[in-house]
Structure 1
Amino acid sequence: MTVPTSTNDGLLSFVSTRSLERKQVSFAGLPLPTSITKHKSPISLGGGRPHSGFFPVNKITLEVSSSPFNADTTEKVISKKDSKTLDITKGFQYGPTEGHPELISFAKSLINRVNEPGYEDWDLTLTNGTGDSLHKIFNLIINPGDVILIENYTYVPVISNIINYGGIVVPVELNFEKGGIDVGKFEKLLENWESGPYKHFKRPKGLYTIPTGQNPSGLTQSHEDRKKIYDLSSEYEFLIIEDDPYGYIQLSEYFDGDFNKFSTNDYSVDKYIEEDLPNSYIQYDTEGRVLRLESFSKIFAPGSRLGFIVGHAKFIKRIIDHANVSTRAPSGISQLIVNSVIEQFDGVDGWLNWNIQISEEYTARKNLLIKTLKSSESFKKGQFDIIEPKSGMFLSININFPNDDDDEEEDYRDQVEQLRYKALEQGVIVVLGKNFTTDESFAKKARFIRTTIATQDSDEEILEAGRRLSSAIKLYFESV
């Protein structure tokens, strides 16, 4: 398929004054005059890069698991001198700000395999994880007074990031029944901006969204609604900041608690891509208005502090300029280890196969928790509903409080707190939906709790957690 070159010359209008005025300074000297011929084999007396002989590590041996929770491993040896790959000599050294070429190449191949952008002049840069990516994106685009739209329940630290640069946060409602942003309400908000509740603000500059396995709700936006939202971004001239840390964790639909399509013999990487992985907004993008965030935290290790941003080359260049005066390159040691494991998995398709196995394990965990909750007396009495996720590691539970008639003025904050206390007394920790918004009107209406299927040690622990939670809900209802 031939993809167009983006002709959107107005992209720099989204760039903050701070980013536009940023100057790069180098101590390496001015470019050589054309009359000077550089020596073919110069000896460096410049720079501050220690020779690899000063590195105290000569070799790293990795034991790489073939699947999650599997003791069977293969061995990967990383040495100081392996010119064919990212070795210790390069990985322990100062590296390019945008990341080492080997991992950059993998990330681009992954994007081309799974989420090819709708235009040619895109690029990417590695970062120190999604938190760093968000910091750099909001630094790139926000001037004081700029409006950033966010989902009304979201990963709240991002709000501090936006406010830190003088941005204004405006919530858009999630549709818990359909999944993801309520497109109808979103369109009305944009259509009536000048006469609506936010008419005293400028029109939105960007939308921050977690469209797959959303945190905290676990919701996943449909393909059709993603296309509609992208079209709205084009019509009303705003950027989409697509945060996708959970997207590669797909969850088979719950039937009887035992079926898991990722366990079937005919399941393949091609099926995973074509039938299960949701389209990224960047696939619909022909104008360069989407910035996509990916992370190795949820599918490799959070401690790697490694992720990347995909977007138009004009944006990526300025993000790299920012990194040059702030964080510089991501950890070379993290890049070295992640790249070595990817090589051991045999590249992009091997990496995707690892993600399929992760999806299989998460599906088994989700099914076990749902089956336990559905078998409880509390569920059978209709005291709660389960919002089954299609992706990610979060499962939300909606509490059907007594005398709940969906009154818009009802304030559930005290009730969910009392329920949380019951849960703690029964020995289970949950997070309240109201804690994922800074808007009081949405905090009052939040009667859902967020649970995770990511942290438990064993099936037995998931079973026990489900029993304790359903018991806590039952005891709460008996106490009111």
Structure 2
Amino acid sequence: MSPPTAVGNGITVHGVTDTETFTLPSPLTVAGVIARRAKSAPLKAGIAAATSSDQFKSKTPWKPLAKRWDHRLSAESKARKPSALKNAAKFLANPGMISLGGGLPSSDYFPFHQMDIKVPAIGKFTEKETAESGETMTIGKHDATEGKSPFDLAIALNYGQGTGSAQLLRWITEHTEILHDPPYQDWQCIVSVGSTSSLEIVFRMFLERGDYLLTEEFAFSSAVETALPMGVKMAPVKLDEEGLIPEDLDTILSCWDEKAQGARKPFLLYIVPSGQNPTGATQGTERRKAVYTVAQKHDLIIIEDEPYYFLQMDPYKGPGASPVPPPSTHDEFLQALVPSFVKLDVDGRVVRLDSFSKVLAPGSRVGWAVLSQQLAERMVRHNEVSVQNPAGFAQIILFKLLDEQWGHGGYLDWLIHIRTEYTSRRNVLLDACHKYLPESIVSWAPPAAGMFLWLHIDGSKHPEFGKRSLHSIEQEIFQTAVENKVLISPGSWFSADRNVEINQLFFRATFAAAQADAMAEAIKRFGAAIAQVFKL
């Protein structure tokens, strides 16, 4: 592991009792990681090694245990039993064991002997810098048996456990504790096949046909499309510029009439708190606390879907203004992040879905869930008979990058880098909006995180307003924009309740991929399409 930059002087003070302290190296330094891991049980990292976050967490007996959620689990989830074959893999670690039990093929028949990956050196993250000074890491087939690494191709390319590999799970558990430090004892991390897979599993863990799902009134379309075929209905909660409105959530639940709705009171809340897709809204600290308070009042489970959490950006000061300097240290970066729901979660009622998709590579199909031990065990049972675990190729490549090359501090350096990049991209798009969109008709709030800009179009300014539906005006804008060779997503695509006629016009633009000049040109074309439709 290359030495990452230290936080401040590299020393963190930890309390032992009310009157005693001791010092440890910062958990973001190599020395801190070594000190931390020296206190853990030896890493059991062989083929299909049984593992859990308990092997890698700090011991925190002063924290409470999570609440039990038996009354919330679905019949399907309650019915799942442990996999006999997966459970038997724990005996493989016994000295002298010869296995004729499981169907784990010999690595002799894996046609991959060695892989080389070239990755950025810490602080030299651009494509040009990586090409010139990136470091090539070699992944061998038998690195573990040869004492070169705890993870090799012979292990990674065989079957694994529903928790994910011990090697990557250790890094993810450490990352979660460093960043979020959940305030209850029995939290766990589960390596997932990306957040989309995790979400489908979590829905099935809790929801029965006919149930309602609480979510933002404009929601991630794939989440809605996952729930609807399960026979689940949407209970949309109003949004403002800071995301879900807790007072509206409380009103919906307090006034719920099971007989009128034909369903039990909903208890599962799905939200994207940072850079919400599609609106770009980010819940501040007080807003998150208020939502959590409502969740406690009504005994909700919160699904905290956070693919954009680390894409929190520097403030936008307007066109032509000097950009706000990015965080210069790890401390500044961490202080600038809005606390996660899992950091506020004293009950174990939050299921956090995290992902490498938006910060490293979506094609890796690797993410993780943070949840209570009881819920983690249920999730593993589902994994065992479905996705099993992420691809070994992806897990070992991420392990090499994050554990052996960057370390925790280097990963934060990368996150600071992409924070700067996304801030710049957002500013380009916002500058273009000020320049090319008719602000008498189009309005927006600068997003504080994520990769989306939510544009509100005042339909009342359309010459045929009141004579035509807003949906038909929306479609006219969309088609005219396509004819002008710009693709931008209509807001109705993200409506949580697809059966309700839209009463406002929105469009979602993304600043994730297009080059600066292309983004500006796209907004210019969209502005021309609006002018054409509104006959300006």
Residue 145 in structure 1 maps to residue 204 in structure 2 = no
Give me the TM-score of the superposition, normalised by structure 2. Answer: 0.80
Q: In the alignment, what sits opposite 1:94? A: 159
Residues 181/438 of structure 1: CA separation in 2 closer, same or farther (3 Å cut): closer
SS in 2 for 1:220: coil
- Cα contact 1:76–1:344 (8 A) shared by 2: no
Tell me the residue number matched to 2:56.
none
Give the direction of change, closer, same or farther, for the CA distance of 1:357–1:205 in structure 2 (3 Å limit).
Answer: same
For the residues of structure 1 that align with 2:86 and 2:494, how far apart are their CA atoms?
Answer: 47
What SS does structure 2 have at the residue aligned with 1:41?
coil
Matched with 1:304 is 364
For the aligned residue pairs, the C-alpha RMSD in angstroms reads 2.7
Q: 2:143 aligns with which of 74, 79, 82?
A: 82
Match of 2:518 among 437, 458, 461: 461
The answer to whether the Cα contact below 8 Å between 2:201 and 2:382 also exists between their aligned partners in 1 is yes
Q: CA deviation at 1:466?
A: 2.3
Aligned pairs for 1:286-365 (under 5 A) are 286-343=346-403, 345-365=405-425
Contact 1:262 1:359 in 2 (8 A): no
Residue identity in the other structure for 1:44? S
Asked if 1 retains the 8 angstrom alpha-carbon contact of 2:243 and 2:283, the reply is yes
1:191 has 2:254 as partner: yes
Q: Distance in 1 between matches of 2:508 and 2:87?
A: 55
Counterparts of 2:99 and 2:498, CA distance in 1: 61
1:208 aligned counterpart, secondary structure: strand
1:249 corresponds in structure 2 to 311
Q: 1:148-180 CA distances to partner (integer Å, 9 max, x unpaired)?
A: 20111101222233234443321111113xx10
- 8 Å contact 1:142–1:166 — kept in the other structure? no
Letter of the structure 1 residue corresponding to residue 413 of structure 2: N
Match of 2:184 in 1: 119
Residue by residue, what CA displacement relative to the aligned partner does 1:342-366 show, whole Å, maximum 9, x if unpaired? Answer: 1354222211221111111111111
Q: 2: CA distance between counterparts of 1:48 and 1:207? A: 40
What letter is aligned with 1:476?
Answer: V
Match 1:44 to one of 99, 119, 135: 99
Separation in structure 2 between the aligned mates of residue 215 and residue 409 of structure 1, nearest angstrom: 31
- In 2, distance between residues paired with 1:239 and 1:404? 42
User: Which letter maps to 1:67?
Assistant: F
Question: Could you say if the C-alpha distance between residues 28 and 183 of structure 1 is closer, same or farther in structure 2, counting changes exceeding 3 Å?
Answer: closer
**Does 1:228 find its partner at 2:290?**
yes
Q: Residues 397 and 24 of structure 1: is their aligned pair in 2 closer, same or farther, counting only changes over 3 Å? A: same
Measure how far apart 1:331 and its partner are.
Answer: 0.9
Letter of the 1:313 partner, please give it.
Q
- Change in CA separation of 1:140 and 1:208 when aligned onto 2, cut-off 3 Å: same
Aligned partners of 2:246 and 2:294 also within 8 Å: no
> Are the equivalent residues in 2 in contact too, given 1:68–1:357 (CA < 8 A)?
no
Distance change in 2, residues 1:259/1:422 (3 Å): same
Q: Which residue number in structure 1 is paired with residue 234 of structure 2?
A: 169
List alignment gaps of at least 5 residues for structure 2.
Answer: 1-14, 16-59
Q: CA deviation at 1:409?
A: 12
Read off the aligned partner of 1:445 and give its amino acid letter.
N
Q: Is the deviation greater in 463-472 or in 218-227?
A: 463-472
Structure 1 residue 448 displacement after superposition: 1.1
Aligned equivalents of 2:290, 2:199: Cα separation in 1: 24
Structure 2 CA distance, aligned partners of 1:272 and 1:427?
39
Residues 283-311 of structure 1: CA distance to partner in whole angstroms, max 9, x if unpaired? 11111111000111111111111111110
Distance in structure 1 (CA, Å) of the matches to 2:65 and 2:290: 20
Q: C-alpha distance in 1, partners of 2:163/2:86? A: 19
Match of 2:493 in 1: 435
Deviation track 1:416-466 (CA, whole Å, cap 9, x = no partner) reads 11111221122110001111115257651231100001121x222222222
Q: Using the alignment, how far apart are the partners of 2:73 and 2:264 within structure 1?
A: 16
Q: Distance in 1 between matches of 2:455 and 2:311?
A: 20
Q: Classify 1:30/1:301 alpha carbon distance in 2 versus 1 (closer, same or farther; 3 Å).
A: closer
- Aligned to 2:271, which of 190, 209, 228? 209
Residues 198, 269 of structure 1: CA spacing in aligned structure 2 closer, same or farther, 3 A cutoff?
A: farther
CA distance in 1, matches of 2:100, 2:199: 38
Alignment match, 1:16:
74
Q: Structure 2 CA distance, aligned partners of 1:183 and 1:409? A: 35
For residues 496 and 468 of structure 2, the distance between their equivalents in structure 1, rounded to whole angstroms, comes to 17
For residues 237 and 191 of structure 2, the distance between their equivalents in structure 1, rounded to whole angstroms, comes to 29
Q: Which residue of 2 aligns with 1:181?
A: 244
Match of 1:126, SS state, is: strand
Aligned-partner SS, 1:62: strand
Mapped partners of 1:115, 1:238: distance in 2: 21
For residues 170-194 of structure 1, what are the alpha-carbon distances to aligned partners after superposition, in whole Å with 9 as ceiling and x for unaligned? 1111113xx1012222222222223
Tell me if the contact between 1:127 and 1:330 (Cα under 8 Å) persists in the aligned partners: yes
8 Å Cα contact 1:342/1:348 also seen in 2? yes
3-state SS of 2:264 partner: coil
**Matched AA of 2:478:** R
Deviation at 1:390, TM superposition (A): 0.3
Amino acid at match of 1:192: C
Pick closer, same or farther for the CA change 1:403–1:388 going to 2, 3 Å.
Answer: same
CA–CA distance in structure 2, aligned partners of residues 462 and 348 of structure 1: 33
Q: Specify the SS of the correspondent of 2:250.
A: helix
Q: Which residue number in structure 1 is paired with residue 528 of structure 2?
A: 471
Deviations 1:94-120 (A, max 9, x none): 122211111111111111111121201
Check 1:409–1:81 CA distance in 2 against 1; reply closer, same or farther (3 A cut). Answer: farther
Name the SS for the 1:23 alignment partner. coil
The percentage of counterpart residues that share the same residue type is 28
Q: Is the 8 A contact 1:85 1:102 kept in 2?
A: yes
Q: CA deviation at 1:240?
A: 0.4
Secondary structure at 2:168's aligned position in 1? helix
- 8 Å CA contact 1:146–1:205 kept in 2: the answer is no
In 2, the alpha carbon distance for the partners of 1:108 and 1:13 equals 28
Contact residue 252 and residue 390 of structure 1 kept, 8 A = yes
Matching residue of 1:108: 173
- Answer yes or no: is 1:445 the counterpart of 2:503: yes
Distance in 2, matches of 1:25 and 1:372, equals 55
Cα distance in 2 for partners of 1:341, 1:429 equals 35
Instruction: Judge conservation of contact 1:435–1:443 (CA < 8 Å) in 2.
Output: no
CA distance in 1 between partners of 2:89 and 2:357 (Å): 40
Question: Is the 1:387–1:398 contact (alpha carbons within 8 Å) kept by the matching residues of 2?
Answer: no
- Aligned partners of 1:181 and 1:450: how far apart in 2? 18
Task: Give distance in 2, aligned partners of 1:408 and 1:322.
Answer: 51
Separation in 1 of the partners of 2:273 and 2:187? 21
Which of 269, 272, 291 lines up with 2:333 in the alignment? 272
Amino acid at match of 1:135: E
Q: Partners of 2:266 and 2:420 in 1: how far apart?
A: 39
The match for 2:115 is 60
The gaps in structure 1 that reach 5 residues or longer are 33-37
TM-score by length of 1: 0.89
